[in-house]
């Protein structure tokens, strides 16, 4: 570690000790330096310490919340050693991301867009079929999804098309399967018109998918896990087989408000094969409401079971979204509303997770956040 410039990735790799770690938090950011490129910050727990690490991991579409990784640890610095990952963009963070997945970017990479979209009408989005569309004068392809959207609060179901499913965030690449029902929102355009947006962070928080390969999409070949699982999706025959399996796993009577993993029919064997999570990492994930095997998203199931009530969460979140509340003031405001000191990030994530599998909560949240 340089006393002038801080830790150096090369030195950490050279001098570091290999340590088993677990990804307990993912925060998605974007930089405009390289043409609006997304990157992830990670919270990795190892031996009771949580390291905040900015690093590009490869293959991106096999990254999962709660998955094990190897760390090279040198003092207070650590480098993730996983897959084909290098140290490009590597940086140690003063404050690690909170447990769970935080992603406020929309499909176009607009910062904070999902925060605004979540003020709208909540919908349960069921993926019906995929189609491939030529773009960029035939030089590229877009995988579009025909979906059925069921608004919360008893609204009339309708069908819509969601474009560019190949841009599904890597942490959620296991989720876009025919028959899957995922949390989403109706997005209102500035010039009128509406579109359906899947809330990938909420979906992946509710169904992290540790050990599961990327879902096969038409014309898109998965990474190492996808190839091992036969998910090449490089031909119509492979796609048809994948679709048939998803349809068989998702019965027609599936509850539209069910957690994404249940609707998607994720095989039980995938969960059984998921590696055991160390106790301290489990504690961090559970505190944020991230489900373990056999658990329901959000941890405590009711208001009475949570130290921070639903109404308190809505009150604080509304002030964050609409009030003149700076980031450094959030903790004091939350405490003033009865949130235990230091508990707001975990409480916020727990309720966000519950919304991902409860249309009633999503609808009420959208209604409350839609106005000052």
CA dihedral 278, 294, 275, 68 (to 10 degrees): -60
**Which is more confidently placed, 171 or 352?**
171
pLDDT digits (tens, 9 = 90+) for 145-177: 999 999 887 778 999 999 999 889 999 999 999
pLDDT at residue number 250? 33
Cis-peptide into 3, omega within 30 deg:
no
Query: For residues 79 and 89, what is the distance between their CA atoms, to the nearest angstrom?
Result: 11
Q: Which residue has the tokens 């992603």?
A: 103
pLDDT at residue number 188? 80
Task: Find which of 99-113, 150-164, 202-216, 292-306 is predicted with most confidence, using mean pLDDT.
Answer: 202-216
Does the global pTM surpass 0.75?
no
Domains in the chain: boundaries: 9-102, 113-264, 297-369
CA angle 268, 360, 285 (to 5 degrees): 45
Query: For residues 356 and 259, what is the distance between their CA atoms, to the nearest angstrom?
Result: 7
pLDDT digits (tens, 9 = 90+) for 239-284: 433 333 333 333 333 333 333 333 333 333 444 456 677 777 777 7
pLDDT class for 289, splitting at 50, 70, 90? low
pLDDT digits (tens, 9 = 90+) for 51-110: 999 999 999 999 999 999 999 999 999 999 998 888 988 999 999 998 899 999 887 778
Query: For residues 211 and 81, what is the distance between their CA atoms, to the nearest angstrom?
Result: 17
């Amino acid at each position: 570690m340089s006393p002038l410039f801080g830790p150096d990735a090369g030195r950490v790799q050279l001098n570091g000790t290999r340590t088993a770690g677990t990804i307990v938090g993912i925060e998605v950011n974007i930089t405009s330096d390289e043409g609006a490129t997304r990157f992830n910050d990670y919270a990795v727990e190892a031996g009771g310490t949580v390291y905040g690490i900015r690093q590009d991991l490869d293959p991106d579409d096999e990254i999962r919340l709660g998955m094990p990784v190897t760390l090279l640890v040198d003092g207070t610095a650590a480098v993730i050693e996983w897959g084909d990952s290098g140290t490009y963009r590597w940086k140690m963070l003063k404050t690690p991301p909170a447990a769970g997945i935080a992603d406020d970017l929309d499909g176009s990479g607009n910062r904070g867009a999902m925060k605004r979209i979540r003020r709208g009408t909540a919908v349960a989005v069921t993926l019906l079929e995929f189609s491939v569309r030529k773009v960029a004068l035939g030089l590229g392809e877009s995988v579009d999804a025909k979906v059925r959207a069921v608004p919360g609060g008893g609204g009339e179901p309708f069908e819509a098309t969601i474009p560019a499913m190949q841009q599904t965030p890597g942490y959620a690449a296991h989720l876009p399967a025919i028959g899957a029902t995922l949390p989403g929102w109706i997005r209102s355009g500035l010039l009128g018109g509406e579109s359906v947006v899947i809330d990938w962070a909420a979906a992946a928080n509710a169904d992290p998918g540790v050990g599961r390969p990327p879902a096969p999409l038409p014309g898109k070949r998965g990474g190492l896990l996808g190839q091992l699982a036969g998910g090449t999706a490089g031909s119509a025959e492979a796609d048809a087989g994948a679709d048939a399996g998803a349809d068989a796993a998702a019965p027609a009577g599936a509850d539209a408000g069910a957690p994404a993993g249940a609707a998607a029919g994720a095989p039980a064997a995938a969960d059984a094969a998921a590696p055991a999570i160390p106790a301290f990492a489990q504690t961090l994930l559970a505190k944020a409401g991230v489900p373990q095997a056999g658990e329901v998203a959000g941890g405590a199931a009711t208001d009475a079971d949570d130290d921070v009530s639903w109404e308190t969460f809505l009150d604080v979140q509304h002030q964050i979204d609409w009030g003149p509340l700076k980031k450094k003031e959030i903790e004091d405001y939350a405490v003033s509303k009865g949130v235990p000191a230091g508990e707001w990030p975990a409480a916020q994530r727990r309720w966000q997770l519950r919304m991902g599998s409860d249309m009633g909560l999503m609808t009420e949240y959208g209604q409350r956040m839609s106005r000052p």
